[in-house]
Structure 1
Amino acid sequence: MTPDQPKGESRIDPITAAVIQGALDNIAIEMGHKLMRMSYSSIIRESEDFGTALTDAEGSQLCECRMSTPLQSGPIPGYIRHLLKTMKERGDVIRPGDVIMHNDPYGGASHGPDVAFCVPVFHDDELVGFSATTAHHLDIGALSPGSCGIVDAVDTYAEGLQFKAVKVYDQGRRVDPVWYILEANLRAPHLVVGDMEAQIKAARIGADRYLELIGTWGLDKLRAAHADLMDYSERLMRDAIRALPDGDYGAVGHIDGYLDDPDPARKDMPLAVTLRIRGDSMVVDLTGTAPQIPDKPVNMPFEGTVDCAVWLTLRSILLDSVICGNIPQNEGLTRPITIVAPKGCLANPEFPAPVIARFCPGNQLADTLMKALAQVVPTKVSAGIGNLRIASFSGFKDGRHWVHMEILEGSYGGRAGLDGMDAVDTLYANTRNNPIEDIEMHLPLRVNRYELREGAVPAGRWRGGIGSVREFAFLNDGGFSIEGDGHKYRPWGYDGGHDGRTASITLVSDNQVAKDLVSKVSYLKARPGDRLICLGPCGGGYGNPLERDPEAVLHDVREGYFGPDTALGDYGVVVNETGVDLAATRAERLSRQ
């Protein structure tokens, strides 16, 4: 708001502002579609693990692609702010035609494999914004193949190549030495470099579209629309917080850490959240979270991971788009929220502590925040989520490396009025699954099984989501590593709902010897015929199972989720050959009161 502008007076009429915002959103969506279609790797093309956005000249977000993952689009303003800071410190000048690469995990990036390519936008010789794309890359030159499953890095230097505001195009001219370094240090440059070039092209398309929009509306109107929409988003969030009862609400969750490590400080690590609600603002205090691990990469960058996990959870629960409709996604939503995380804890590590495996801890932090919110808005949260895991498969065939990243789905807990969602990415990780056909067409892997778990449904008035079963078989020599969690701590049930089910991973060798693995697996070699069996976690149940609709229980039995014995034992529902025996069910449930 300008100093001479009366409080509450709009800079622009709301209809024009909405039209401009819609046009900006369409630019980000077009960037996303173009990036997907041009990408080489399935992690971008199929899983949609990317982000696209436009920002103003200072890094304030104008729009983002809605189909991208929050953990990719959300950090883009931080990328831009640190890019600007880094270039200013070294006296580097941003010019038209530049393309700048950035992946500093202590400089806005979520972690090193999420590389941003930023195209500055100039109008009448003035820097007016950036068009940026981010994407997860299959290999970033780390100590073991793949960019996930790196669970033993001793510091950030062991996590792969770091690019701190590096120009890959300088005034339109390709900076060849940078590309030579990339091609020489990546295990799968035919995939990774191709994906990077797709990012650049998509970012340039966004820059062109943004200039076209400026030509249509004028820069002043675009800036006015952005400022008003930020204020609008802020008002919505403040109204939502004001509707909550003042008070302090706490919750504690845990991550497995390194369950096979003899050092107790490396496992069973708490994540603590205290919400302090006062009027129309909120403090999310993470004091009590475990100290950082100086030489294991499960630490979470405060900017790029922790802040995104907090903001996404609060926005999703307090301003549910199903209820509130379309809400402009910008920093106005974060103005009423302050995040406190002591320096040196898992949620605010100090350089050079490694952070590449921050994915599962960050998702568990979001789940713990939701557990605290359950005390304030119980009908808006789900019970505990089943966390995700990432498997990195790799090998060397026909003279070059192949690398594949597979996100193993989790599941949601039950919600008021709805069962938990089965076999799906949760919270800030809304990537899609890879089709079996795509995997088997491009890789020396076979998917023997892809199905829902049977007999593992967490009971509740609204049951927990069911995890998946994934079985991969190696057809050639190769290897794998796993970045995961949730093998020890069960997702929490709510209001009488049962706790969820933990995940598991089993390696079956070609001679049929089975070995159970922990949730974090350093690189292991595999031979043809070896099979990796991954059971996904099941989310917690919501509400008393004895209050579940008997017809819903019958549906679960007929779908094969569980049998009549479980229907009776967990739900007090008597199922026979013809359906539900209502009289016997009423008697059974009355006997348990």
Structure 2
Amino acid sequence: MVSSEIQQPRAAAADAAGIDPITAAVIQGALRNIAIEMGYKLMRMSYSSIIRESEDFGAAVVDEHGRQLSESIQSTPLQSGPIPGYVQGVLKQFAERGETINPGDVIMHNDPYGGASHGPDVAFIVPCFHKDELVGFACTTAHHLDIGAHSPGSAGIVDAVDVYAEGLQFKSIKVYDRGQKVGPVWQILRDNLRAPDMVVGDMEAQVAASRIGAQRYLDLIDRYGLDKVRAASEELMAYSERMMRKAISELPDGTYPAHTFIDGFEHDDDPDVKNLKIAATITIKGDEMIVDLSGTAKQLETKAINMPYVGTVDVAVWLAIRSVLLDSAVVGEIPQNSGLTRPITITSPEGLMCNPIFPAPVIARFCPGNALSDTVMKSLSQAVPKQVSAGIGNLKVLAFSGYRNNTHWVHMEICEGAYGGRHGMDGMDAVDTLYANTRNNPIEDLESHLPLRILKYELREDVCGAGKWRGGMGTIREFQMLGAGGVSVEGEGHVFKPWGLEGGNDGHPAGLLMKQGNQTTSLPSKLPYKAAQEDAILVAVGPSGGGYGNPFERDPKKVLDDVLDELITAETAKHDYGVVIADGQIDMAATEKLRAAAH
């Protein structure tokens, strides 16, 4: 059995002895602000709502070895987190081809088997040269709404036969060579994308933002000197590593297995493509952690929900561990860099969904990867139950498309999930979860740019996972097509409920409906491109997170508040929480009697 492992590579350490902590902190702040500025500049220059409004992009500064030095705080972990893998993939491919990186180059990369997250998340990488020496890279990634795949849009491509069916592949391609624009590459892009003005416009915005980051990084080096910036970077990565090792060392040594299931393709006749297991076993020994993904379902040969090992799986694992063990609300700000991942090893046999073999399709890896992060959280719950949430309600990605005024239009909408309850806190309602923290699109923005109308956008009531701290609630959103077009969907959680923790109840699954004329059809969580007539309505029903703790221990006043806010009914209050409410008041005598009887 061939096994792979992910560990953060090390470079030869600079001599950090000459760097004082104040200077290192100032340089850290500057690196962080460079990434943040790149992110804001990208948002303001972008054409598509997925970048401008949803913030489905990443920005980071990495050193010449591909080690992350900083990332943009307003971007999603699934975009910024993979950037070291993108750069390391580019460096590897350039070395294999015997190509060189030169001042003025801009490199485009989206190879999911070469460090990229998946095909639609394209990176534009600008090398930084100081006195003819390569000293780092400024990088942006972003999700593009069409990448030339076999159906419109870049979401809902769930049945690709292989990665070649998922769209254009850019394996370390120079789009600027020594400062000169490589015109044929840009023409190929325009000729093979359904919405070239928007998509290429977004790509050009990425180039500009990356160049801004590169210039800011070189300005920082000019101010402090290359040796001092390198020494500060080494010390900052070492500091982040020490913090992670300290957090791991405080956990009880042991082995903590966990698993969850995802729908896969729940309506398919083939049993091998549905009810798929995600497994994670964490072993803690001293200040190191091993995450073994053996036991996860085998890769799917013609279904695109496999997860790239580098670019998705590693980010899903690292994000969950970092969020739980180094919660910024508890420990304060810690430099976000590659030092955080050094104490963590991820292993998996090849040929699993979490370590697929080329050319298995991977474009719809979003929801399975989030489920993997949730499974890692479940594993950690055995070691630190008061630091994790119960099971999350996963997300759903809808792609709408059509043709009007002789032009293709495409739009991608990320429908929120919900967090499970956690010790001392209810789960968050209607938010993206774990490694996906994009924002929702404002209805006004969507309706002013696209032939879509939002008929309903509200919390899904009376379905939260009951607990001492209840799970969060999802949403119900209704999208109406104002012209003929098509829809496709990638999602999860129609079959399996988010797990409850410490006696909390499981959450509730999601759903999807299509209304055309007088007919309403229930749809699976994954829908290949489906034609939609004018006035067709797609209804996305969001999941609710699992509950944490015994529901009969929930503060009756909190239960009453949920009833008065019409989040749950009085009947649910009585059945799930043992709280009797009459005429808008708690009947304490009846409540105490009911709860006592339950024991």
Matched residue of 1:450: which SS? strand
Alpha-carbon deviation of 1:292?
Answer: 0.5
- Which residue, out of 235, 242, 245, partners 1:235? 242
Alpha-carbon deviation of 1:283?
Answer: 0.4
Partner of 2:256: 249
1:84 corresponds to 2:91: yes
Alpha-carbon deviation of 1:2?
Answer: 11
Q: Structure 2: how far apart are the matches of 1:345 and 1:2? A: 30
1:207 corresponds to 2:214: yes
Q: Structure 2: how far apart are the matches of 1:69 and 1:283? A: 25
Partner of 1:526: 532
Residue type at the aligned position of 1:495: E
| C-alpha RMSD of matched pairs (Å) | 1.3
Q: Structure 1: how far apart are the matches of 2:13 and 2:582? A: 75
- Which residue, out of 181, 185, 189, partners 1:178? 185
Q: Structure 2: how far apart are the matches of 1:535 and 1:3? A: 51
Decide whether the 8 Å contact of 1:383 with 1:542 is kept in 2.
yes
Alpha-carbon deviation of 1:455?
Answer: 1.7
Decide whether the 8 Å contact of 2:279 with 2:295 is kept in 1.
yes
Q: Structure 1: how far apart are the matches of 2:91 and 2:14? A: 30
Partner of 2:7: none
1:558 corresponds to 2:570: no
1:501 corresponds to 2:508: yes
Alpha-carbon deviation of 1:315?
Answer: 0.5
Decide whether the 8 Å contact of 2:14 with 2:234 is kept in 1.
no
Matched residue of 1:341: which SS? strand
Partner of 2:123: 116
1:592 corresponds to 2:598: yes
Residue type at the aligned position of 1:582: M
Matched residue of 2:279: which SS? strand
Partner of 1:134: 141
Cα gap change, 1:545/1:208 in structure 2, threshold over 3 Å: closer, same or farther? Answer: same
Matches within 5 A, 1:56-71: 56-71=63-78
Decide whether the 8 Å contact of 1:469 with 1:533 is kept in 2.
yes
- Which residue, out of 15, 29, 49, partners 1:22? 29
Partner of 1:94: 101
Matched residue of 2:210: which SS? helix
Residue type at the aligned position of 2:569: G
Partner of 2:224: 217
**Structure 2 unmatched ranges of 5 or more:** 1-9
Partner of 1:517: 523
Matched residue of 1:402: which SS? strand
Q: Deviations over 1:320-371 (max 9, x none)?
A: 0001101011111111111011111000000000000100100000001101
Partner of 1:153: 160
Matches within 5 A, 1:291-330: 291-330=298-337
Cα gap change, 1:512/1:347 in structure 2, threshold over 3 Å: closer, same or farther? Answer: same
**TM-score calculated relative to the size of structure 1:** 0.98
1:461 corresponds to 2:468: yes
Matched residue of 1:522: which SS? strand
Q: Structure 1: how far apart are the matches of 2:105 and 2:277? A: 44
- Which residue, out of 323, 336, 349, partners 1:342? 349
Alpha-carbon deviation of 1:512?
Answer: 2.0
Residue type at the aligned position of 2:377: M
Q: Structure 2: how far apart are the matches of 1:588 and 1:328? A: 50
Q: Structure 1: how far apart are the matches of 2:229 and 2:82? A: 22
Cα gap change, 1:345/1:2 in structure 2, threshold over 3 Å: closer, same or farther? Answer: closer
Matched residue of 2:349: which SS? coil
Q: Structure 1: how far apart are the matches of 2:518 and 2:427? A: 35
Alpha-carbon deviation of 1:562?
Answer: 1.4
Same amino acid, percent of matched pairs: 63
1:390 corresponds to 2:381: no
Q: Structure 1: how far apart are the matches of 2:593 and 2:294? A: 49
Partner of 2:487: 480
Alpha-carbon deviation of 1:61?
Answer: 0.9
1:281 corresponds to 2:288: yes
**TM-score calculated relative to the size of structure 2:** 0.97
Alpha-carbon deviation of 1:295?
Answer: 1.3
- Which residue, out of 566, 574, 581, partners 2:587? 581
Alpha-carbon deviation of 1:590?
Answer: 1.1
Alpha-carbon deviation of 1:10?
Answer: 4.0
Matched residue of 2:427: which SS? coil
- Which residue, out of 267, 279, 284, partners 2:274? 267
Cα gap change, 1:154/1:584 in structure 2, threshold over 3 Å: closer, same or farther? Answer: same
Q: Structure 2: how far apart are the matches of 1:4 and 1:45? A: 38
Decide whether the 8 Å contact of 2:426 with 2:471 is kept in 1.
yes
> Which aligned runs of 4 or more in structure 1 are off by greater than 3 angstroms?
1-6
Q: Deviations over 1:379-404 (max 9, x none)?
A: 00000000001000000000000000
Cα gap change, 1:212/1:513 in structure 2, threshold over 3 Å: closer, same or farther? Answer: same
Alpha-carbon deviation of 1:507?
Answer: 0.4
Cα gap change, 1:2/1:31 in structure 2, threshold over 3 Å: closer, same or farther? Answer: closer
Q: Structure 2: how far apart are the matches of 1:476 and 1:294? A: 35
Residue type at the aligned position of 1:454: E
Residue type at the aligned position of 2:256: Y
Q: Deviations over 1:442-475 (max 9, x none)?
A: 0101000000012212211000000100000111
Partner of 1:542: 548
Decide whether the 8 Å contact of 2:146 with 2:410 is kept in 1.
yes
Decide whether the 8 Å contact of 1:11 with 1:225 is kept in 2.
no
Decide whether the 8 Å contact of 1:11 with 1:228 is kept in 2.
no
Cα gap change, 1:3/1:363 in structure 2, threshold over 3 Å: closer, same or farther? Answer: closer
Q: Structure 2: how far apart are the matches of 1:11 and 1:569? A: 65
Cα gap change, 1:578/1:402 in structure 2, threshold over 3 Å: closer, same or farther? Answer: closer
Alpha-carbon deviation of 1:578?
Answer: 4.3
1:38 corresponds to 2:45: yes
Alpha-carbon deviation of 1:528?
Answer: 1.2
Decide whether the 8 Å contact of 2:280 with 2:376 is kept in 1.
yes
Residue type at the aligned position of 2:346: I
Partner of 2:3: none
The aligned length equals: 590
Decide whether the 8 Å contact of 2:564 with 2:584 is kept in 1.
no
Residue type at the aligned position of 1:161: L
Residue type at the aligned position of 1:573: V
Decide whether the 8 Å contact of 1:475 with 1:529 is kept in 2.
yes
Q: Deviations over 1:18-51 (max 9, x none)?
A: 1100001001000000000000000000000000
Alpha-carbon deviation of 1:265?
Answer: 0.7
Residue type at the aligned position of 1:87: F
Decide whether the 8 Å contact of 2:46 with 2:52 is kept in 1.
yes
Residue type at the aligned position of 2:539: I
- Which residue, out of 423, 430, 435, partners 2:430? 423
